[in-house]
């Protein structure tokens, strides 16, 4: 049977790769604040749009497909992906605090930022389990 699920998975994973690259690049641009903020906001918005695309199409395709996915591996991927989105909210919150000049947030934003990047890379890597 022709599997449409595989088709969309490739498109999702290309987007996922581009978003991940954007976040890594954006972190290298943190000293240029305006540029950093534009890149990170775009990446976060795009990532949330990607999740919506996956949810909207998968719920429709799932019924028609008999894809064999290891549920434990899928759960690990989903948990990492959800944690990453939660970290995004902290990054927006702490980034705004840094902009307001609350110095205590600078190191938090940096450290949690590094964690966010690692989690986003893991989201991409584990997405191959779920595809
Ligand atoms: C996924 C989202 C984000 C990640 C991974 C991230 C990561 C980072 C990292 C690693 C640094 C420290 C860079 C360094 O000192 O070497 C940094 C700095 C900074 N970030 Fe973000 N960031 C994100 C989103 C944001 C957002 C949404 C804002 C603004 C609302 C923001 C504002 C800033 C500011 C103002 C700095 C300080 C730059 C400076 O040292 O002058 N960041 N970010």
Gap from CA of 83 to ligand 1 centroid (Å): 18
Q: Do residues 63 and 12 lie in contact, with contact meaning Cβ atoms separated by under 8 Å?
A: no
* Residue ranges lining ligand 1, Cβ < 6 Å: 23, 27, 30-31, 33, 36-37, 40-41, 44, 88, 91-92, 95-96, 98-99, 109-110, 113-114, 116-117
Closest CA to 25 of 38, 12, 7: 38
For every one of its 131 residues, what pLDDT tens digit does the chain have, with 9 covering 90 and above? 445 566 678 999 999 999 999 999 999 999 999 999 999 999 999 999 999 999 888 765 565 454 556 788 888 999 999 999 999 999 999 999 999 999 999 999 999 999 999 999 999 999 988 76
What does 64-112 look like in DSSP terms, one character per residue?
A: H------HHHHHHHHHHHHHHHHHHHHHHHHHHHHHTT-THHHHHHHHH
For 81, the token pair is: 């992906």
């Amino acid at each position: 049977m022709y599997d449409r699920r595989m088709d969309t998975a490739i498109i999702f994973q290309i987007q996922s790769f581009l978003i991940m690259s954007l976040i890594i690049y954006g972190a290298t641009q943190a000293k240029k604040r305006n540029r950093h903020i534009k890149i990170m906001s775009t990446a976060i918005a795009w990532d949330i749009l990607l999740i919506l695309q996956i949810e909207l199409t998968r719920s429709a395709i799932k019924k028609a497909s008999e894809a064999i996915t290891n549920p434990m591996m899928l759960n690990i991927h989903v948990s990492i992906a959800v944690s990453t989105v939660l970290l995004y909210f902290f990054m927006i919150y702490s980034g705004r605090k840094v902009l307001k000049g609350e110095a205590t947030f600078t190191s938090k934003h940096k450290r949690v930022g590094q964690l966010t990047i690692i989690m986003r890379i893991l989201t991409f890597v584990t997405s191959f389990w779920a595809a």
